[in-house]
A and B are shown apart, each in its own frame.
Chain A
Amino acid sequence: MSPGALLETAALMGLFVLAGGAYGGLYSMGRLRARPHWVRAGQACWLLAFAIAVLIALRSPLDLGWKLLILASAMVYAVIPPVTWRYLQRLHAHEETQQ
């Protein structure tokens, strides 16, 4: 790996997870406060995370297996916030009906 590619790849990997986290944070804050544009901003962050994953796949000297793993985790990132949110809501709703 060339010196430049090392820093670039590591930075992209960090930004990838950061964008994923921003998606999770904004998505859930938007749902919480019923602000659809926050949810959309969150989804834009996921798009950014996906774009970074594609960039890593195209530009970095990582082995193919790692590139596929990063692309696959970008897909998983997409579903974690909505699935978690729905699960939490269902849990809370169930709890309230029990009380």
Chain B
Amino acid sequence: MKKVYAFETKCLGCGLCEVYCRTAHSKFKDVVKAHNRDNVISAIVIENIFRQSKPISYFVLQCRHCLSPRCVKACISGAMHKDEQGIVHNDKKRCVGCLSCVSVCPFGAIKKSRDCKTISKCDLCVGYGEPLCVKNCPNDAIKLLDENEVEVALK
């Protein structure tokens, strides 16, 4: 299964991935409108790496689509589920925003929505071909890789 991987040394911390993530998950599908008129939050966390309390570099983090996802086990409504391909989805219609998933995600990769009624997590932009964060990263710091490509990247 292909997943999004982030490369710490390449990340500029520019935040464009978040902008496009919001766009992908906004009803407007337009960068400016999604930003101005929609209150979706991105499914990406950008983290600072500190050295002596100064941020020295960044990396992005989104759902790892774990093999045995704790979020799915903890979900009290059945909204959180893993599909046949292995992608972990949250069905917003059934999500009650209890944050049980947030309380167990070891990556801290699930965020509550702005209105607190549901959550936001990476769905690999199903329907877009390539995730918009990957497509729009100016420095190739986020890539969509399958297992074999991961092996290569790790070498």
A and B from one assembly? Answer: no
Interface residues of B (CB under 8 A from A): none
